[in-house]
Structure 1
Amino acid sequence: MGKSLADQLLKAGLVDQKKVKDAQKAQRKQAKQQKQSKAGKAAQGSNDAQARIAQQRAEKAERDRQLNLQRQAAEKQKALQADIRQMLETHGTRPEGDIRFNFTETQTIDGKVTKKVKQVYVSKKDQDKLAAGVLTICRDRNRFVLVPAEVAEKLLARDASVVVFRAEKGSDQPEADDPYKDYVVPDDLMW
């Protein structure tokens, strides 16, 4: 078998033993450095991949958290609407009677506020209670219902758009400086 180049040069006397050992030592160092640089590049590549994976996991966790918050908000809104509907069905009564009661309904559609005059037919007793603020008018889907003022307060806390008409509870006594306090409006006067 053939001898290595270093052996052949040594035999020919062109190099001495010390130079051969120095050359072999330099060759081993160079091979070792190449291995380390390849391992470093591979480690750097794996670090980049790990960083990308960690970033993707963090982004996915954030997306999942946002979706979960949206789901929870939707469920909470649905439960709130069910609670309002139940309160209206439990405490609300349909307006029935032959006296027309007019009120204004405020609606917000696409950021535009509109006020419309609406009417319900109620009994004389319900008309007096509505005027005194004992009863309120609330919207239950596409119809109006009469609800006691205490229940209306709870509905206002949940969703103010449900309560359509609410008369302020105030005293019917005229103020001291009212110039018309001596003139009494007859009860049987219908507008």
Structure 2
Amino acid sequence: MAGNLFDQLKKAGLINEQKAKQAKKAKYQQTKKSKGKRGDQAESEAAKLAAEAARKKAERDRQLNLEREQAQQQKAEQAALRQLIESNRLRGYEGELTYHFADEKKVKSLQVNKQTRQKLVNGEIRIVSFNNAYVLLSREAAEKVEQRDAALLIPLAEAEESMSEEDRDFYAKFAVPDDLIW
């Protein structure tokens, strides 16, 4: 009994040629569909994985671009601040008087002339910590700097608030010797 099953069934007379062809065709179509389903599943999974990877890459690229833009914006703001300070810094204020001020709990000093010292006391001139040095700016320029980065400005010396108005008036009668000016 050699040959395939269809040949054997034909010889036995259990099946005719037409039914054999229909059965072959049905089996072929069934195997084709089952292979297609497995291939479609594999293709759809691969497509899903590729789409997910593309989405993750797009999200990562978007985050990196956002960080880059923020860094560029910060650089631009710092450059504008630096230009503002450099263009508005006061020059020629050096003199024989020492002006003391507090910077981060440390007492620092600048050598200034009499007019500059009086303007510092009145708040017409402000001190800015810039590039590891101290720069004097007018009040208007200092306000612009404060809007951009208030941490650069050295706080103004404040009058002691625990003293009453009556005490201030009483002590105002007495002149402060030059060697005690702070």
SS at match of 1:103: strand
Specify the alignment match of 2:74 in structure 1: 77
The one of 91, 95, 98 equivalent to 1:97 is: 95
Counterpart CA distance in 2 for 1:12 and 1:26 is 17
Q: Does 1:156 align with 2:181?
A: no
Secondary structure in structure 1 of the residue aligned to 2:46: helix
The whole-number CA distance in structure 2 between the counterparts of 1:179 and 1:5 is 122
> 2:9 & 2:168 partners in 1: Cα distance?
132
- Structure 1 stretches lacking a partner, 5+ long: 107-114
For structure 1, which segment, 24-33 or 64-73, has the greater mean C-alpha deviation from structure 2 after superposition? 24-33
Q: Structure 2 length normalisation: TM-score?
A: 0.81
Runs of at least 5 residues in structure 2 that lack an aligned partner in the other structure: none
Q: CA deviation at 1:92?
A: 0.8
Distance 1:53 1:30 in 2: 34
Distance in 1 separating the partners of 2:126 and 2:80? 18
Aligned length: 174
* Structure with higher strand content: 1
Aligned CA-pair RMSD: 2.8
The share of aligned pairs that are identical, in percent, is: 37
| Equivalent residue in structure 1 for 2:36, among 39, 43, 46 | 39
Q: Which amino acid aligns with 1:100?
A: T
Is contact 2:101-2:157 (8 Å) kept?
no
Q: Is the 8 A contact 1:138 1:165 kept in 2?
A: no
Cα distance in 1 for residues equivalent to 2:116 and 2:16: 121
Picking from 123, 146, 171, the partner of 1:133 is 123
Residue deviations 1:70-114, cap 9 Å, x none?
1111111111111111111111124411111111112xxxxxxxx
Contact 2:100 2:108 in 1 (8 A): yes
Higher helix share: 2
